[in-house]
Structure 1
Amino acid sequence: MTTLVIGANGQIGKQFCELAQQAGTPVKAMIRSEGQAAWFNERGIESVVADLEGEFEHAFEGCDQAVFTAGSGPHTGPDKTLMIDLFGAIRAADVASQKGLSRYIMVSAMRAENPLEAPEKLRPYMAAKFAADAHLRRSDIPHVILKPGRLTDEIASRQFASSMDEAGDNQISRANVAHALLHVVQTSSIINQEYTLLDGKRSIEEIVQ
């Protein structure tokens, strides 16, 4: 079962692709340009050039499921938020559905269900995530929505929590998100579920059981 990784060149995407390769879990990294291919080639990871703001349907060929971990990034404007985090995510889910993929796994955000509760500068991003998640829930493709808290660059602890009450904070390392993604990708029985992800003291198996 090959997984298309949309946003593979991002910080979570790269870590996930490397973990999957090491685990023998087939992935195809969707990247924006040939210039991004070297990192993946060096690690023996298949890649395909496709653009979320253009044509990307060909990237799904030969894939059974898709992971969406793309993001416009903190230094772009609302235009990129609309085209990537909202419209790109919706289009990708629709293509995955049309092509009959088994699952679409969305990396969303913990505050996405209540955008007005996010810091003001993050509200457009959270609103985009809110709408993309809502579209996915209404679609006919089996899906999983992962909702990490504030992302950090700490090393992986592989220990998780599913609420702020449990965690005592609102953060999670990108490395832990990558490990959670790997578990979900490898566990085909997880469908139509949503999980908040924070750093904590439980295994990912306990969180998603």
Structure 2
Amino acid sequence: MSKNIVIVGGHGHVARKLTKLLTPSHSVTSIIRTPEQVNDIKELSANPLVLSLADAPVVDFTHAFQGSDVVYFSAGAGGKGGEEMTKKIDYEGAVKVFDAIEGVQGKKPLLILVSAVDVRDPDKIPAHYNEEDIAVSNRVRKAIGVYMKWKYEADKNLVKRTAFKWIILRPGGLTNTPGVGTASIGRTHLGKTISRDDVALALSLLVDREDASGLAIDFVGGETPIQEGLDTFIAKGETDFLG
């Protein structure tokens, strides 16, 4: 069934790949930052909406979400602008979207949020991590600790919300290699990267999976077909967000 979909951060690499997968079957509105990005979105057969995640008020996003079935949050500062901009986009921008969804009149859209694997309380090491996982985690936190911190604060805010349904996808390190259609999904290890193509594919498959509501899904490179892996993970019903 065709859905009305809004993508926040619609000009990002994953978001554009996702848009291309969704537009043949769904109506997609892509929220972008600047008018210069409009034509890129139109070429993907989506409807561009210029709206600043950093500066526009919550009510503008509520208006944009009204009547939508699914909202994707795929925005991020991308490490640009230091901690101030990372906090403003990855945390405050995310919370703005959560608040905006709560303000939607009538049925509220499902939120599908793109986070990152290993986003957690740094003092809580998952029981399934091995020594290599811990080493990778420490290395990543030294390199992009500010990003991990504010993604964690955003996810921590989201998991407490009950006014709307949400799903979190937590991909590992992203590559631009062609997608292979397979992954390791759920309580996985940290060493393997994942193609942006495969992240976009997983996000597109989640559009019809309200049965995944309340779950955070770890997603790195692996051998399991993505549809099969999502089915197994969702049936198990055990979130990867450990707090």
TM-score for the superposition, normalised by structure 1:
0.91
The question of 1:102 aligning with 2:103 is answered no
Partner of 1:93: 98
Cα drift, residue 78 of structure 1: 0.8
Partner of 1:45: 46
Cα drift, residue 194 of structure 1: 1.2
Partner of 1:179: 201
Cα pair 1:65 1:96 within 8 Å, conserved: no
The question of 1:112 aligning with 2:113 is answered no
Q: Which moved more, 1:175-184 or 1:47-56?
A: 47-56
Partner of 1:147: 170
Aligned partner of residue 74 in structure 1, secondary structure:
coil
Partner of 1:135: 157
- Structure 1 letter corresponding to 2:113: M
Cα drift, residue 114 of structure 1: 4.4
Paired residue for 1:10, among 5, 9, 12?
Answer: 12
Partner of 1:124: 146
Write out per-residue CA displacement over residues 104-142 of structure 1, whole angstroms, 9 at most, x where no aligned residue.
Answer: 111000021145733313111011111100111001221
Cα pair 1:49 1:59 within 8 Å, conserved: no
- The separation in 1 between residues aligned to 2:21 and 2:86, in whole angstroms, is 28
Cα pair 2:5 2:69 within 8 Å, conserved: yes
Aligned partner of residue 156 in structure 1, secondary structure:
coil
- Structure 1 letter corresponding to 2:142: E
Paired residue for 1:68, among 66, 73, 83?
Answer: 73
Cα drift, residue 164 of structure 1: 4.1
Cα pair 2:41 2:47 within 8 Å, conserved: yes
Write out per-residue CA displacement over residues 45-104 of structure 1, whole angstroms, 9 at most, x where no aligned residue.
Answer: 112111111224232233122110101013331111010000000110111122142311
Consecutive unaligned residues of structure 1, counting only runs of 5 or more, are none
Paired residue for 1:83, among 85, 88, 113?
Answer: 88
TM-score for the superposition, normalised by structure 2:
0.79
- The separation in 2 between residues aligned to 1:130 and 1:169, in whole angstroms, is 20
Consecutive unaligned residues of structure 2, counting only runs of 5 or more, are 123-136, 232-243
Aligned partner of residue 138 in structure 1, secondary structure:
coil
| Structure whose CA Rg is larger | 2
Partner of 2:216: 194
- The separation in 1 between residues aligned to 2:142 and 2:27, in whole angstroms, is 39
Aligned partner of residue 113 in structure 1, secondary structure:
coil
Cα drift, residue 170 of structure 1: 2.8
- Structure 2 letter corresponding to 1:130: Y
Cα pair 1:25 1:186 within 8 Å, conserved: no
Write out per-residue CA displacement over residues 136-158 of structure 1, whole angstroms, 9 at most, x where no aligned residue.
Answer: 10012211011000111111111
- The separation in 1 between residues aligned to 2:67 and 2:207, in whole angstroms, is 16
Cα drift, residue 39 of structure 1: 1.1
- Structure 1 letter corresponding to 2:192: N
Aligned partner of residue 112 in structure 1, secondary structure:
coil
